[in-house]
Amino acid sequence: MTSSTPNLEPKFTLVVLVLLAVLMVLIALITVLGNGLVVLAFLVNKDLRHRSNYLFLNLAISDFLVGKLQ
């Protein structure tokens, strides 16, 4: 009979985990800031309020929420 024990060895070193965490936070921050600027531009500049630009506003809001939830 063989016992099935889970492999408890870490797959990444601490340095790699910290670098990955910093990179993920940076990507989420850039996503939130960039899409926030798109929404702000849409609200401030009345020339952008055309029917065709509402798609971009919708995409920016959706992407903003995805970046915020990460």
- Does 47 score more than 70 pLDDT? yes
What is the Cα–Cα distance from 63 to 70, expressed in whole angstroms? Answer: 11
The answer to whether residue 66 sits within a structural domain is: yes
Separation CA 3–CA 38 (nearest Å): 56
Rounded to whole angstroms, the Cα distance separating 18 from 60 reads: 29
CA nearest neighbour of 67 among 47, 37, 43: 37
Q: What is the pLDDT of residue 22?
A: 96
Tokens of 37: 């600027």
**What is the pTM assigned to this prediction?**
0.71
Has residue 52 been placed in a domain? yes
Query: Is residue 1 scored above 70 in pLDDT?
Result: no
**How many domains are there within the chain?**
1
Range of the domain at 47: 35-70
Instruction: Answer with the residue of higher pLDDT: 52 or 67.
Output: 52
Query: Over 80: is that where the pLDDT of 70 sits?
Result: no
**Alpha carbons 10 and 24: distance in angstroms, whole number:** 20
pLDDT at residue 5 above 70? no
The answer to whether residue 40 is domain-embedded is yes
In a domain, 26, yes or no: no
Domain membership flag for residue 58: yes
Mean of pLDDT over the chain = 87
Q: Is there a domain that residue 65 lies in?
A: yes
